[in-house]
Amino acid sequence: MTFADTSGWYSFLVPDDVFHQDAVDWMTAYTGVLLTTDYVVDETLTLLRSRGYGAKAVAFGNRVYGGAGGRVRLHYLTVAEIAAAWDVFRRYADKDWSFTDCTSKVAIEALGVPEAFTCDHHFRQFGTVAVVP
Domains for the chain: give ranges and CATH numbers.
2-132 (3.40.50.1010)
Q: How far apart are CA 130 and CA 48, in angstroms?
A: 25
- Residue 59: which H helix or E strand, with range? helix 54-65
Residues 7-63 pLDDT 10s: 999 999 999 999 999 999 999 999 999 999 999 999 999 999 999 999 999 999 999
pLDDT of residue 66: 84
pLDDT band for position 93 (50/70/90)? very high
The pTM (predicted TM-score) of the whole model is 0.95
Residue 34 sits at φ, ψ, to 5 deg, of -100, 125
Spatial contact of 100 and 39, defined as CB atoms under 8 Å apart: yes
Residue 45's alpha-carbon distances to 118, 119, 129, in angstroms, are 16, 17, 24
pLDDT of residue 60: 95
pLDDT band for position 68 (50/70/90)? low
